[in-house]
Amino acid sequence: MAAGHFLPNVGGVERYIYNLSRALIRQGCEVSVLTTQSEDAPLIETMDGIDVFRLPSLHLGGGRLPVPKLFNKQVLAQLAAVEAWQPDIFVIHTHLFLSNLCAARLARRTQTPQVLVNHGSGFVKGGNFAINLALQGYEHLLARQIGRHSAEAFGVSQSAAKWLSEFGIDTGQVIANGVDIASMPKRSAEFRHRLGLSDDACMIAFAARLLPEKGADTLIAAFKKLNPADAGLVIAGDGPAMGALKGLSDGDSRITFLGACRHSDVLQMFGSADIMAYPSRYPEGQPTTVLEAGAMGCAVIASPRGGTAELIDNPDLGIITDCQSDLELALNKLINDAAYRKHLGTNLQRKVHTLHDWRIIAERAAATFSRIVTKHKETVLSQ
């Protein structure tokens, strides 16, 4: 696997790679991850059976854009270590990072097949027209460099797969995002009780890295405008938008900021929540937070970004909204209708358990990767 970010960095792509890797290991595969070094993470470690190789890097854009120190001896040593690991296939997650371009070039040099897995459904944006234009050019350059030499390409949703056509990469193949159904906790009121919420109060949850585009500002504004008498909004996560979001909440005692949380705490939060609201404006692939909330039986309100509209594809599974006024209507409906919340949560939980179990996804992915490796070997032998 090749990824710009990996654990201990927290995010949906990082969780996807970790969970897919763990599920593939349970299928009998050996998995390594080539990524960038963040914080004080070791250059080499084995994490739950995954061999992790990190490239010393500079972190630009508030840490969102890691750039490997390409002429650093440790970077060259790490690339040599990956080559010595002798992978059968390189699975490159997103085209957005120079470290992934390093992986693609290593695959070419060693004549190892590579595939591209796309995790987004739109251009990453940087704040103003000039920066956005530069980022689009950067994306096109890397996508074409990596995609040109990929045996096949995939998206984590149909929307993510379709987005690759922007870069001249045509695919309808999907390696879906998932949840580890077997390890999900049971629903419990314990988490809400720790926050001082009664069993009768309606608990609304939100979890994400707090970037401006993730939509927590829209959720807070809608919640404050509705001004529900017996409800609480709980926001899990940290990030550059935290200060602005706390300012927007204006000390409202019904709004709780948990800050950075362990993954197990986020699942417990969903296990206590009645509603999970995710009005993201980000070019999502298939948001992990939506899948996990669904798996825990929450009624979900979300924007139609990426694969969310593919998951919630009828009104018995959840509510899709794309503006604050519609979010207010949806929240008002669900806060005041416990039976409808239960109906949506049960239906979405059933769908997630059926279609998005990592065990099933990994079985299919392992078979796909094996087919690609076999085809590559046959091609090499025939030359």
pLDDT tens digits, 152-183: 999 999 999 999 999 999 999 999 999 999 99
For 208-232, write each residue's pLDDT tens digit.
Answer: 999 999 999 999 999 999 999 899 9
Find out whether 122 and 283 touch, Cβ atoms under 8 Å. Answer: yes
* Token pair for 88: 């059968």
| Whether residue 272 is found in the same domain as residue 139 | no
Q: What is the enclosing helix (H) or strand (E) of 207?
A: strand 202-207
Up-side HSE of residue 170: CA atoms within 13 Å toward CB?
0
| Whether residue 206 is found in the same domain as residue 344 | yes
Give dist(CA 306, CA 242) in Å, integer. 24
| Whether residue 57 is found in the same domain as residue 134 | yes
Find out whether 3 and 34 touch, Cβ atoms under 8 Å. Answer: yes
| Whether residue 216 is found in the same domain as residue 105 | no
Instruction: Using CB atoms within 10 Å of the CB of residue 325, give its burial: 0 to 12 exposed, 13 to 18 middle, 19+ buried.
Output: exposed
Alpha carbon separation from 344 to 286, 294, 297, 382 (Å, rounded): 19, 9, 8, 54
| Whether residue 377 is found in the same domain as residue 244 | no
CATH number for the domain that contains residue 22: 3.40.50.2000
User: In sequence order, what are the beta bridge partners of 10?
Assistant: none
Select the more confidently predicted residue: 322 or 39: 322
Average pLDDT over residues 59-83: 91
| Whether residue 55 is found in the same domain as residue 145 | yes
* Token pair for 199: 């069993």
| Whether residue 220 is found in the same domain as residue 127 | no
Query: Phi/psi class of residue 347: alpha, beta or left (left: φ > 0; alpha: ψ in -120 to 50)?
Result: alpha
SS3 241: coil
Binning pLDDT at 50, 70 and 90, where does residue 61 land? Answer: confident
| Whether residue 365 is found in the same domain as residue 229 | no
| Whether residue 215 is found in the same domain as residue 277 | yes
| Whether residue 147 is found in the same domain as residue 201 | no
Find out whether 54 and 39 touch, Cβ atoms under 8 Å. Answer: no
Q: Is the pLDDT of residue 62 over 80?
A: no
Q: Is the pLDDT of residue 300 over 90?
A: yes
pLDDT at 2: 98
Q: How many domains does the chain have?
A: 2
pLDDT at 38: 83
For 74-126, write each residue's pLDDT tens digit.
Answer: 999 999 999 999 999 999 999 999 999 999 999 999 999 999 999 999 998 87
Binning pLDDT at 50, 70 and 90, where does residue 66 land? Answer: very high
| Whether residue 317 is found in the same domain as residue 293 | yes
* Token pair for 260: 């950075």
Q: State the angle between helix axes of 129-148 and 98-109 in degrees (0 to 180), rounded to the nearest 10.
A: 20
- Full domain range(s) for residue 134: 2-178+358-382
| Whether residue 171 is found in the same domain as residue 225 | no
Measuring CA to CA, which residue among 23, 25, 22, 17 is closest to residue 1? Answer: 17
